[in-house]
């Protein structure tokens, strides 16, 4: 085990989040995944050397950074806000990580077929919960929320059998019928879905 891996296993979110500058750290409790949840998600996604995981709406990269530190999988984060991508890259540099890929893009411009596992922490929540918004750089609307979620559902439907998706605090997200719910934890806020049929 690398020294850094041990550090991550030992530290709590308060410690880890100190890596981020204050303007991003203040969003941690609402928008960035807690370390314990990252670990459970990695286990459920069955991340191995050949896995390629996409974090849909990667924020400051907390899920990807920890994933890359503690597993051998490949991680890509797609994020619509450029400043969050820059922060993620700064932190990864501090952590000595150069394996994570960050895409500054709208999720709609990403090819889902390049990945076998997906992490989905309610990326479009700001469209329906304005009080929790990170900033006002996005035009929020309930219609967009519905449109984005429907888009993700359609992309997942077109992926191969055995595709795994972990969702966190995403109660309204609708999975295609070809996916089965295989795990629920943390008062049903963390869910594992696997594609089992065409």
Q: Does 67 bind ligand SAM (CB under 6 A)?
A: no
Q: How far is the CB of 7 from ligand SAM (least distance, A)?
A: 19
Count of Cβ atoms closer than 10 Å to residue 144 Cβ: 15
Contact window for ligand SAM (CB under 6 A) among 10-18, 52-60, 175-183, 189-197? 52-60
Contact window for ligand SAM (CB under 6 A) among 42-50, 75-83, 90-98, 182-190? 75-83
Q: How far is the CB of 197 from ligand SAM (least distance, A)?
A: 28
State the Cα–Cα distance between residues 156 and 113, nearest whole angstrom: 9
Residue that the structure tokens 């879905």 belong to: 193
Q: Does 17 bind ligand SAM (CB under 6 A)?
A: no
The correct pick among 79, 87, 92, 116 for binding ligand SAM (CB under 6 A) is 79
Residue that the structure tokens 């429907």 belong to: 150
Residue that the structure tokens 């995944």 belong to: 33
Q: How far is the CB of 106 from ligand SAM (least distance, A)?
A: 5
What are the angstrom distances between the C-alpha of 189 and each of 43, 137, 185? Answer: 16, 28, 6
Q: Which is nearer to ligand SAM, 76 or 163 (CB)?
A: 76
SS3 label, residue 86: helix
Count of Cβ atoms closer than 10 Å to residue 33 Cβ: 22
Q: Which is nearer to ligand SAM, 129 or 196 (CB)?
A: 129
The correct pick among 20, 57, 85, 92 for binding ligand SAM (CB under 6 A) is 57
State the Cα–Cα distance between residues 100 and 153, nearest whole angstrom: 25
State the Cα–Cα distance between residues 74 and 53, nearest whole angstrom: 6
Q: How far is the CB of 95 from ligand SAM (least distance, A)?
A: 15
Q: Does 62 bind ligand SAM (CB under 6 A)?
A: yes
The residue count for binding ligand SAM (CB under 6 A) is 22
C-alpha Rg value of the chain to the nearest Å: 16
Contact window for ligand SAM (CB under 6 A) among 17-25, 92-100, 118-126, 152-160? 118-126
* Residue 161 DSSP class: T
Which residues are CB-contacts of 154 (< 8 A; sequence separation ≥ 6)? 176
Q: Does 115 bind ligand SAM (CB under 6 A)?
A: no
Which positions lie near ligand SAM, rule CB under 6 A? 31-33, 55, 57-59, 62-63, 78-81, 84, 106-107, 121-124, 134, 148
């Amino acid at each position: 085990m690398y020294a850094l891996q041990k550090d991550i296993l030992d530290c709590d979110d308060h410690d880890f989040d100190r890596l981020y500058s204050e303007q991003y750290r203040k969003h941690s409790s609402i928008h960035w995944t807690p370390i314990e949840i990252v670990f459970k998600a990695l286990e459920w996604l069955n991340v191995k050397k050949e896995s390629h995981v996409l974090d849909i709406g990667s924020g400051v990269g907390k899920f990807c950074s920890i994933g890359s530190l503690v597993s051998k999988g490949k991680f890509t984060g797609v994020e619509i806000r450029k400043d969050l991508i820059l922060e993620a890259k700064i932190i990864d540099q501090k952590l000595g990580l150069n394996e994570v890929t960050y895409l500054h893009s709208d999720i709609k411009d990403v090819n889902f077929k390049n990945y076998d596992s997906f992490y989905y922490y309610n990326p479009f929540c700001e469209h329906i919960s304005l009080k929790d918004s990170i900033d006002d750089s996005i035009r929020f609307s309930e219609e967009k929320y519905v449109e984005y979620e429907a888009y993700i559902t359609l992309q997942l439907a077109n992926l191969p059998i055995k595709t795994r998706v972990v969702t966190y605090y995403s109660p309204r997200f609708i999975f295609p019928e070809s996916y089965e719910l295989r795990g629920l934890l943390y008062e049903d806020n963390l869910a594992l879905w696997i594609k089992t049929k065409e």
